[in-house]
Structure 1
Amino acid sequence: MNKKINAHMITMLGLLIALTVVLSRIFGFETQFIKISFDFVPKIIMGALFGPVWTGVGAVAADAIGMMLFARSAFFPGFTLNAFIGGLIYGYFFYKKEVSWKNAILCSLSLTIIISLILTPIWLAIMYNQPLTSVVIWGPRLIKALIMFPIQSILNYVVGRALPLKRLKNYLATVR
């Protein structure tokens, strides 16, 4: 967080937060126990441009704004914690690092294990007063993990490689 923030960086972060909200809340699919969206695409860009902490802050802002504007269920702070941790993970794997298959897959694997298969089931069990071993919690989670892990890994790599992230980083660093 010792990095100086300028107006261009704030603007870029704001646009990425807005894109995250749109992809998550408007174009995402959500039921009581499962959520599928492509909101991770702007988080890849945030992670590459701003690092772990700012990506975590941006993910929390997107979660809060999305919840205020397009609430689909009750607010639960555990999901906001998930957003921050997810942002940290994206920043860890993509900030100041070459986007490689290894980083793309390890990022997806970390998110799947930590967020989808550890934290979210705990939050759902607490929210809906279900036993942590309930098939209602685990059935959709495992199916989602099996489907989304390869899709997210491929998109992590493709988006990370396709975007001119080096030029954007250089531009944001030189603009005062």
Structure 2
Amino acid sequence: MNIKKCTTENIVFMGILLAVEIVIGKYLTISTIYLKIGFAFAPIALTAVLFGPVEAAVIASIADIIIALLNPFGYYPGFTVSAFLTGIIYGIAFYKKTPKMWRVVSAVIISKLAISVFLNSYWLYKLTGQAFLAVLLIRLIQNIIMIPIEILVIWFIIYPIAKLRNKMKEKNILVNNILLLNEYPADNLEYSCAATPQIRQTGNRLSGLAETAY
């Protein structure tokens, strides 16, 4: 986890995403021991886009543990491994990558087939003793339904939300830097040891705008 991303704002936002993930996973998901249909993937995908694979994997793992403890089926560590790997896959595919439909399709299909269908079917086989192929068939049907839904949600909802959040963050940084400019003499801004590169850059941009205006 990059220490530069551990700001108060980012930690709070990831906490919100974790809470949303738990609410969706617990109350807004059709869930039995063999299948699960819902939108709990959405907060993990958004975490992956905004913060990266490690953060997405951690949020997914914590959410899986909490949701499992709240459900009557109980906790099984194999599913936490699956959640962790899903976060890694999404983070590698989406973080700091130009949005491409083929990238979304590839990430969703890989995560669904490799993890949700095969790996989770194996966990269920170990947990329940049911025939592996029978469990695999049930999981395959579930994911045939969920794959196109997940692709569309990530493309049309998750990416726009991430773009909006990044724009708002950039505006907040610009406003904060403008306010901090008041602490430094305008003539000595370039040589001030206390001024950060971002503040100097903001000062230069404002100076350029002022010269253009005159």
Normalization by structure 2: what TM-score?
A: 0.74
Aligned to 1:9: 10
Sort the Cα spacing of 1:169 and 1:126 in 2 relative to 1 into closer, same or farther, 3 A: farther
SS of equivalent to 1:154:
helix
Q: Distance in 2 between matches of 1:32 and 1:67?
A: 11
Aligned to 1:74: 74
Aligned to 1:151: 149
1:73 deviates by: 0.5
Aligned to 1:59: 60
Q: Distance in 2 between matches of 1:57 and 1:120?
A: 18
Sort the Cα spacing of 1:2 and 1:161 in 2 relative to 1 into closer, same or farther, 3 A: closer
1:160 deviates by: 3.2
Q: Which has the higher contact order (CA 8 A, sep 6+)?
A: 1
- Summarize deviations over 1:55-108 as a string: whole Å, max 9, x none: 10011111122223x223021100000110111111111100122211111111
CA contact (8 A) 2:82 2:116 kept: no
SS of equivalent to 1:96:
coil
Count how many residue pairs are aligned between Structure 1 and Structure 2: 172
SS of equivalent to 2:103:
helix
CA contact (8 A) 2:118 2:136 kept: no
1:111 deviates by: 1.2
Aligned to 2:99: 99
CA contact (8 A) 1:104 1:153 kept: yes
Sort the Cα spacing of 1:173 and 1:99 in 2 relative to 1 into closer, same or farther, 3 A: farther
Q: Distance in 1 between matches of 2:55 and 2:95?
A: 11
Aligned to 1:131: 131
1:165 deviates by: 4.4
1:172 deviates by: 8.9
1:154 deviates by: 1.1
* Structure 1 residue ranges (4+ consecutive) displaced by more than 6 angstroms after TM superposition: 171-175
Structure ID, larger Rg? 2
CA contact (8 A) 2:65 2:75 kept: no
Identity of aligned residues (%): 30
Structure 2 gap ranges (5+): 177-214
Q: Distance in 2 between matches of 1:173 and 1:129?
A: 55
Residue type at the aligned position of 1:46: T
Aligned to 1:162: 160
Q: Distance in 2 between matches of 1:71 and 1:35?
A: 13
Sort the Cα spacing of 1:118 and 1:168 in 2 relative to 1 into closer, same or farther, 3 A: farther
Q: Distance in 1 between matches of 2:172 and 2:25?
A: 26
CA contact (8 A) 2:50 2:95 kept: yes
Normalization by structure 1: what TM-score?
A: 0.89
